[in-house]
Amino acid sequence: MVEPQRAARQFSPWLDAWRRFRRHRLAVASAVILVAMILSILFAPLVWKVAINDIDFTARMQTPSWQHPFGTDDLGQDLLARMLYGGRISLAVGLSAMVVALTVGTIIGAVAGMSRRWVGPALMWLTDLFLSLPALPLLLLVIYLFRDALKAAFGPEGGVFVMIVVVIGGLRWMPVARLVRAQFLSLREKEFVEAARALGASKVRQVVRHILPNALGPVIVAATIDVAAAIIAESTLSFLGLGFPPDIPTWGRILYDAKDYLDIAPHWALFPGAAIFLTVLSINFIGDGLRDALDPRRVM
């Protein structure tokens, strides 16, 4: 048998998407910045071996120097070490909350999109209801009510982490659900799905093999934006003093501690604030680039 002649130029949907993504210069720059930040958060603690709770009263609220590149806080703790640690938590919260939101949203959207009777409209009513809930007040309410029980169940760190992830994810699934449903409504009537149905594919197989892969583009974009929104939500909670406890220095928590010393030690607030801003901005730009990249109808 003769090997089929290889095409001169390789072509695949992912390669095409990558080609489109590269055109968005800000998105590429953001991706580089984000990867650099993630790598430093993951690997810099291996090099920068200062403990996050190393109290040194002789070095309180120092401005950046070689000994403390990001300065110190009111207890003389090294801010670089604390921010590297906090960055891990912030990113972990962002990614896990995105996974929660994506899972819930996809399931609800898929069920609503596949149903031909009352289930779809009922689920959409629920989605609209959740969309009109004021997220931050509700977040604060849930945290106030469940704080102590979860602390008892998962320990102080794990409890807060689980709660924040579930609550943020649980209040952000609605846009995903609407997107998935809208995609499903048009895709399920397409010929290739009808062909699968005629061949006797079960509902689950139709969804998993045929419809969902085709609905993935907008969902990936929404997921990217959700990571940024979850990071902001976590930082907001910590900034209000209602997120992680003081011994877990997430970026929002460092800002909360720093906000009363703005006049003496502005660097203390500027570094974590800039870190949040840079992370969120680059994620948003990457989302914008992906929107261009994953929409094949777009002519570039």
Where does this chain bind other proteins (CB under 8 A)? 26, 128-129, 131-138, 140-146, 148-149, 228, 232, 235-236, 239-242, 252, 255, 259, 262-263, 266, 269-270, 273, 276-277, 280-281, 284-285, 288
Nearer Cβ to other proteins, position 146 or 154? 146
Is there a contact between 294 and 300 (Cβ–Cβ < 8 Å)? no
**What is the C-alpha to C-alpha distance for residues 211 and 214, in angstroms, rounded to an integer?**
5
Is there a contact between 233 and 94 (Cβ–Cβ < 8 Å)? no
Nearer Cβ to other proteins, position 145 or 198? 145
Nearer Cβ to other proteins, position 51 or 152? 152
Minimum Å distance from CB 222 to other proteins? 15
Residue 78's SS3 state is: strand
Minimum Å distance from CB 248 to other proteins? 18
Residue 72's SS3 state is: strand
Torsion, Cα 104 107 109 112, to 10 degrees, reads -130
Nearer Cβ to other proteins, position 75 or 126? 126
Nearer Cβ to other proteins, position 8 or 145? 145
Minimum Å distance from CB 270 to other proteins? 8
Which long-range contacts (C-beta less than 8 Å, at least 24 apart) are formed by 58-65? 61/261, 61/264, 61/265, 61/268, 63/265, 63/267, 64/267
Residue 105 in tokens: 């949203």
Minimum Å distance from CB 263 to other proteins? 5
* Contacts of 285 by beta carbon, 8 Å cutoff, 6+ apart: 24, 26, 27, 29, 30
Nearer Cβ to other proteins, position 104 or 242? 242
Minimum Å distance from CB 277 to other proteins? 6
Minimum Å distance from CB 73 to other proteins? 15
Nearer Cβ to other proteins, position 138 or 185? 138
Give whole-number Cα distances, 227 to 23, 39, 187, in Å: 23, 17, 27
Nearer Cβ to other proteins, position 249 or 273? 273
For residue 272, list its beta bridge partners. Answer: none
Minimum Å distance from CB 215 to other proteins? 22
| Cα–Cα–Cα angle for 289, 280, 35, rounded to 5 degrees | 70
- Crossing angle for the helix pair 212-239 and 174-187, nearest 10 degrees? 170
Minimum Å distance from CB 149 to other proteins? 4
